[in-house]
Structure 1
Amino acid sequence: MTINIVCLFAILAYFLPNAYANTEDEKTFSIAKQNACLGCHAINKKIVGPTFAAVAEKYKNDPNAQTFLKNKIVKGGSGSWGVVPMPANTKLNDAELSAVTNWILRGAPNKN
């Protein structure tokens, strides 16, 4: 009986963080989709802007990456990835910006 309880807790400890991450990733993907991010960006396919995977790779060792990307999303601009300007997105609140930039810096994981 004790072994069964220990096994149950071990299984929960393994799967629970993944379930939470998937739910958060799905919410963040939805925020990105609702705010037109996916019109120019994709996870692993270049559209107009860089892929989210490429952004994650470029900034993976930059401790200021999240602040930089939040600013880039809010103000827009050009020059980081070419001449096509990224329009400003002022509709996202700080919590949404944090979620989206964290998601992007993790390579934009999504179950889809």
Structure 2
Amino acid sequence: MKQQMQKAMLTGLAAAATMIAMPSAQAADGEAIVKKARCVACHAVDQKRVGPAYKEVAAKYKGDAKAPAALFDKVRHGGSGNWGQVPMIPHPADKISDEDLKAAIHWVLSLD
């Protein structure tokens, strides 16, 4: 009985450790994706370049449940006016896949 309790406790601790490590792995993936897709040519984490800083984007959309879909459309189709007069060019699926774009947006929105 004691061994079963220890085994159950170790299994629970291992699961918790995995859950704790996942956000940092996802963050690394999101950051790698924006670098690979060359989003960093116009954006940086904490400073404005051609486009807004990722942290500014996260702050603007904090708590907005519709933000991921709206940002997906904005990145995919491009646009202007939300952050100034410089337009954001469209980024089609051959430049960044749907899956990678969703992961990148998730990463951006997770920044504080």
Q: Which portions of structure 1, spanning 4 or more consecutive aligned residues, are displaced by more than 4 angstroms?
A: 1-11
- From 50, 63, 66, the equivalent of 1:64 is 66
Q: What is aligned with 1:52?
A: 54
Q: What is aligned with 2:23?
A: 21
Distance 1:45 1:51 in 2: 5
Is 2:107 aligned against 1:100? Answer: no
- TM-score scaled by length of structure 2: 0.80
Query: Over aligned residue pairs, what C-alpha RMSD do you find?
Result: 2.1
**Rg larger in structure:** 2
The runs of 5 or more residues in structure 2 that have no matched partner are: none
Cα offset for 1:66? 0.6
- TM-score scaled by length of structure 1: 0.80
The runs of 5 or more residues in structure 1 that have no matched partner are: none
Contact 2:30/2:106 (<8 A) preserved: no
